Amino acid sequence: MGKLVVLTLLGASLALIGERLLTLRERLSSTREIKSTEPQHCHLIEGLENGSEDIDILPSGLAFISTGLKYPGMPNFAPDKPGRIFLMDLNEQNPKAQVLKISNGFDKEPLNPHGISTFIDKDNTVYLYVVNHPHMDSTVEIFRFEEQQRSLIHLKTITHELLKSVNDIVVVGPEQFYATRDHYFTSYFLILLEMFMDFQWTYVLFYSPREVKVVAQGFSSANGITVSLDQKYVYVADVMAKNIHVLKKHDNWNLTQEKVIQLGTLVDNLTVDPATGDILAGCHPNPSKLLVYNPEDPPGSEVLRIQDALSDKPRVSTLYTNNGSVLQGSSVASVYHGKMLIGTVFHKALYCEL
């Protein structure tokens, strides 16, 4: 009887491991053929050489870009350089990226910026919220943007026990934001185990000075997050599940799931087209090449547009694909008046005219 129990448990364990291996292999498959789909007028942005992980564009056309992310398991071409925040004015005929000065005593050496989000107050003051990973921890830094001086004034550092492994953020009010947790564990070995077992323990949290709470959970790896133009819905990318969750926002800040949009590619950061309300998704079409980086066979890039996200049949179209010969590891795309910026986890950034 004892041997039978042991054999049964062993068989079940092997079956589970086999199923997990097949699932992980399918999720990280790099066998997909990447056919280039590129607008005619695109060029790499000078000065952005070490990633451009997230991009947020103001209604005025000023674009903030986070660079220099150091993320466990991802390539990094400048491991000894601190991260930086760049600015581009998309109203210019030939916009260029310039680094923003950070003042008010902020320690710039451990700056490791990840997701970013802007907020414009009633008096038109612009605030930039930055997910930061100093010494591989997670904080949210709040800056005030000084447009004339092209600088950021550091105002506050937010920490909380729920703000762990934070990936992205979307600000919905003064010191009020939703943030995604992309891994439950923080050690690299346990993160790999989490990916293998697909525990689905990651979540979206809501933060305010009065209340911090988990408002949506059960994601394989909650990643990019943004809100609809009317502020009624929150869009969350589950990168490992290759989908986007459409969540309804309630008056108490809780979120309930409306639908899930399957995309068949690993979905990173999300933005919303301010002219149409369409979702733009930066994606990883061959993710295993991100984890095992080979400059001779680099990871490709992909940008998708999702139209009519709330309808029964959302329409998905491709705005950009490249096999890595131009752009590697796309993480975000954002548009403004017929111009598109595409950022990457660790590589360069692209400017396109649509």
Binding-site annotation, residues for Ca(2+):
53-54, 116, 167-168, 223, 268-269
Catalytic residue list contains 337: no
Question: How is residue 152 written in tokens?
Answer: 């950021």
What is the C-alpha separation between 126 and 147, in angstroms, rounded? 9
DSSP letter at 82 equals: P
What do you get for the CA distance between the two ends of the chain, in Å?
69
SS (H, E, C) 150-189: CEEEEEEEECCCCCCCEEEEEEEECCEEEEEECCCCCCHH
Give buried/exposed letters for 325-345 (b at 16+ CB in 10 A, else e). ebbbbbbbbbbbeebbbbbbb
- Tokens 């959970």 sit at which residue? 217
Q: Which of 41, 114, 160, 183 is catalytic?
A: 114
Pair 323, 70: CB distance under 8 Å? no
- 3 state SS of 293: coil
Pairwise CA distance, residues 56 & 301, whole Å: 19
Which residue numbers belong to the known binding site? 53-54, 116, 167-168, 223, 268-269
Catalytic residues: 114
